[in-house]
Chain A
Amino acid sequence: MVDDDDLMLKIATKFLQKEGYDVIVAGNGRDAMKIIHEASVPFELIISDVIMPYSSGFELVSTLKKHSLYCNIPVIIISSSGNETIVKEAYQLGVDDFLKKPIMPQELLVRVKKILSRPQVNIS
C-alpha cells in the first residue's frame, strides 16, 4: 500500500490485516519500487495514491507495467482527485480499479477480494 498520508496507511493496513491480508506500506513511489524489488515473495496487489513525493503513483504504475516481472501485478489507485482526466489516464496506464477518496472500507475490501479472486497469470 503506497500513500503519503500516514493515517490512511495505518488504518487501511489494520483493516486489511484484520481480513487476513499481509500488508506492507510505503510513503511514496520510489520507496515502493525499492520494496517490490527487494521482496522475497512477490506482491499480489498494489494499492496506490497518485500525488506523492519523489515518484508519483502514475509513475509507479508505469514502471511496473513496463517491467517483465511486475507487469501482471494488479493495481488499485486511490486518489483524492477524481476528475475525468486523472481517471482516464489511470485506466490508460493499465490500472485495474480506481477509487476516489473518501472511500468506503467495505467497498475497498470487496474490490480487493474481486481482484485477488481472478485467475492469476503465471509469470514464473
Chain B
Amino acid sequence: MYLLNIFETWWNEFNNSFYNFSPTLYNNFASFPFFIQLSILFIAIAFFTTVVTYLRLAIRRAVGYYKELRKQQYTPIIEQLISDATIMNEELHSGMQVEDIKLDKHVVAFEKELPIKRKYIRQIVIDDMMHYKKIFFGDAVLLLKQLFIDLNLQKDALAKLHAFNWERRVKGLRELARMEVTVQDVNILPLTNSRNYFLRMQARSCYIRISKNEPFKFFDILKEPLTKWDQIDLFEIISTTPNLNIPNFSRWINYSANNSLVSFCLKLAVYFNQQDAIPSIIELLKTKDHNLRAEAIITLGQLQADEVEDMLCDMYNNEPQICQVAILKMLGLTASKKHTDFLAKQLQYSSEYDIKLTAARSLIAHNEATKNLLDDLMQHTSGLTQAILKHSLNPLIKY
C-alpha cells in the first residue's frame, strides 16, 4: 500500500509537470489508457538512455582513437631521445663514469623536440621509461633514473599519490617504486593504512622498495588474508629490490596468527635459503590447518631438512591425504636415501593414485641410489603400480 501511494504521488507529480511543459502534448497523452501511458513513458526513458549511452561510447572511442594517434606520433621520438641519453649515451661509451655524466644537453633535447610541458607527453615518457627498466639494467638504467629526475617526472608520480581516484594513487606508487625513487615516509605511510584494500596492499609492497625504514614492518600488523596475487606482487618486489635488508622470516612463521602470511613467509624462507628458519617450520607442523601443514612439510624438503624425515614418517599414517602426499614429496626433495623402503611401500600398497605417483617420483629423484630398487619393482609389480612406474620413468612425461 505504501509503495502504491508513493507511485500515485509520483505519477500525479509527473502528470502535473508534463502539463506545465506542454498542455497540447499532455492532452494527447492523457487520452491514452494507463497502460499505454506507462509504456510510452518507459519507451521514452529507454530511448533516451540508449541515445545517451551511444553518444558517450562514441565520444569515448573518438577520444581514445585520438589519444592513440597522438601516442603513435610521439613514441618514436621519445624512444630515440631516451636511447640517446641512456644506452647510446656517447659519454658512457667513451668510458666516462656514470656518476660524472651530466644529462643537461639531453634534457634540453627533450624540451626542444617535445611539448614536454604537456601532461600526456610526460606520461608517455614515464611509461616508456618503465618499459626500458624491465628490459635493461646496469649503467644505462642508472642514467635512466637520473634522466627521470632531471626531467622532474618524479613530481608527476608524487602528484598522483594525492589524486582523487585510488587507482591513480596506485599508479603513482608503482611508478615511484619501479624507478626506485626514494620517497618520504610522510607521503606513503598514510596510504599503507588506507581503507581501500588494493591501495593499502600496493602501498605496503611499494614501501618495501622506496622506504629506507623497516620495510617489513607491516608484516607485524597484517590481520587480513594475503591473497595469492598480493604474494606474487610482494615476491616480485622483494626479490628484485637491490640491497634490501632481508629479515629472518621465522619471526612471522612462529608468531603470526595470519595463515596466509605464514604461508608467504615459508616461500620467502625457501627463496632466501634461510636454514635457521627450519626449527620454526618444524614447530609449525603442529598447526591444525592441513594446507599450511602440507606447505610446511614441502618447505622443509626444499630446505633439505633431512633431520626431520623420521618424524614425518612416524606421523604419516595419521595425516590426511594432502599431508601424506606432501611427506612423500619432501622425501623426494631431500633424496637422503634413508627412506627409500618407506617410499617403495607406499608405491606398492597404497590404493590412491596421487600417493603412488608421488612415491614413484620421489624414488626416481634419488637417481642412481634407487636404480636397482626401481628395476626390481618394475619386474615384480603389475597393474596400476607398474603403470605408474612406467609413467614416472618416462622422461617425456614431466608432470
Contact = CB atoms under 8 A, between A and B. Distances in A.
A5 B136 contact: no
Given A7-B79, A7-B132, A11-B83, A18 B88 contact: yes
A92 to B, nearest CB: 11
B134 A11 contact: no
Interface in B133-189: 133-141
B131 interface: yes
A10 B138 CA distance: 18
A8 B132 CA distance: 8
B8 to A, nearest CB: 63
16 contacts: A7-B79, A7-B128, A10-B83, A11-B83, A11-B87, A11-B135, A18-B93, A101-B135, A102-B133, A102-B137, A103-B135, A104-B138, A104-B139, A104-B140, A105-B136, A105-B138
Interface string B111-146: 000000000000000001001111111111100000
B87 A105 contact: yes
A122 interface: no
B135 A10 contact: no
Interface residues of B, number: 17
A74 B212 CA distance: 44
Contacts of B131: 7
Contacts of B133: 102
Contacts of A10: 79, 83
Contact of B88 (A7, A8, A15, A103): A15
- Identify the 8 closest CB pairs spanning chains A and B, nearest first: A104-B138, A102-B137, A8-B135, A102-B136, A105-B87, A105-B140, A7-B131, A15-B87
Contacts of B135: 5, 7-8, 11, 101-103
A14 B139 contact: no
Interface string A100-116: 01111111000000000
Given A7-B79, A10-B79, A104 B137 contact: yes
Contacts, number: 46
Interface of A: 5, 7-8, 10-11, 14-15, 18, 80, 101-107
A18 to B, nearest CB: 7
A19 to B, nearest CB: 9
A57 to B, nearest CB: 16
Contacts of A107: 138
A108 to B, nearest CB: 9
Contacts of A104: 136-140
A15 B79 CA distance: 13
A101 B132 CA distance: 11
Interface string B66-107: 000000000000010001000110000100000000000000
Given A11-B83, A14-B83, A18-B88, A106 B139 contact: yes
Contacts of A5: 135
A52 to B, nearest CB: 15
A62 B351 CA distance: 40
A102 B132 CA distance: 9
A22 B66 CA distance: 37
